Amino acid sequence: MATQWKQTTPTVAVRYLDETDQVVIDGLRKVGDVDFALIVDIPAGTVILPEDVIPMPQQIAETLLHIDADVDQIYAALLGNREPEYVLAEKEALAFQAAGYTGTVPPSVQAWATAKSQTATWAADDILSAAASWRQAQIAIRATRLLCKEGAKNSADVAALLTVKAQWASFLAVIKPQLGL
């Protein structure tokens, strides 16, 4: 017979499928001395098996991996394998700007100017503007990623971990549209 669970204090989450087959993470407490977490919207009579319980260390590890995977997806979507090209274009645009927009137009700047039917000065400024925006986004992504990962590592219970996950989700909801994702 399956072990029955009841509501109490958060410390571990349980994974189950809801009526739409989406994974839902909620907590439970086993009848007896073992602390788990708070039940949220689990239908009455639901039976959760002991193997469904996710220990806090595993939840934290999964959260850390998820945060890093989200960042990797953002970078892949924005840069793909073209990061060296963008870095070169930024370097050449900076050199062209430092030379007062005179002399030989660097190839990356000229390619952008030609593609957009614009001047080399416009192309250099556009490359530098895009690079500056991207650098600011990288700083925000890094700062928030590190903050949320430390928050997850230091979560004492499920409620604290869920707060960190909510903060990360809120950040993604803001940064992704700003980056056009």
pTM score of the predicted model: 0.68
- Looking at the DSSP bridge assignments, the partners of residue 15 are 25
Contact (Cβ atoms closer than 8 angstroms) between residue 155 and residue 12: no
Query: What tens digit of pLDDT does each residue of 129-180 get?
Result: 999 999 999 999 999 999 999 999 999 888 888 899 999 999 999 999 998 8
Reported as type and span, the H/E element at residue 113 is: helix 107-116
Give the integer Cα–Cα distance in Å for 28 and 34: 10
Residue 131, CA distances (Å) to 40, 94, 95, 118, 162 in order:
45, 10, 14, 18, 34
**Percentage of the residues of the chain whose pLDDT score is greater than 90:** 57
DSSP 20: T
The whole-number average pLDDT for the span 4-9 is 40
**For the chain, what are the domain ranges?**
5-54, 57-178
Give the integer Cα–Cα distance in Å for 44 and 169: 29
